Amino acid sequence: MSDTSEDILATAAGWVAQGETVALATVVQTWGSSPRPAGSRLAISASGRLAGSVSGGCIEGAVADAAQQTMASGTPQVLSFGVSDEMAWEVGLACGGKVKVFVEKLA
């Protein structure tokens, strides 16, 4: 699980070194079938760069939006995404799983 998430940290650190503002999103809990396990990371930069993933692509957009807020405010957030199958076309997990994501600024 930590096998590839650490490379995201290195990428994020690289962006910071280039003077970018960066936020990290980490899957902290999952229920049911969710594509990425706890510990999976997505790095987001203020300029819109993305590295890694917290889902199969379904919630990355919403997480990136929240990350921009966290970069501006400095306040971490816990985001919950959970949808029933019929709601799957909204922002959420198409597979019907639930996932909790922690978003923090690299400061």
Partner 1 sequence: MKAEILARLQAARAAKQPVALVTRLTDGLQLLWPQDEAPAPLVDAARTALADDAAQNVEWEGAAWFVHPHNPPLRLIIVGAVHIAQALVPMAQPLGFAVTVVDPRRAWATADRFPGITLIHEWTDDAMAQLAPDSRTAVVTLTHDPKLDDPALDVSLKSAAFYIGALGSRRTHAKRVARLTELGHGPEALARIKSPVGLDIEAVTAAEIGLSIIAEVVAVRRGAALGNRERAPVSA
What is the contact surface with partner 1 in residues (CB under 8 A)? 1-4, 6, 9-10, 12-13, 16, 24, 26, 28-29, 37-39, 76, 78, 102, 104-107
- Tabulate helix, strand, coil % of the chain (nearest 5): 30, 30, 40
Residue 82 or 94 having the CB closest to partner 1: 82
Residue 24 or 93 having the CB closest to partner 1: 24
Q: How many angstroms separate the CA atoms of 46 and 68, rounded? A: 6
Residue 96 or 104 having the CB closest to partner 1: 104
Strand partners, 5: none
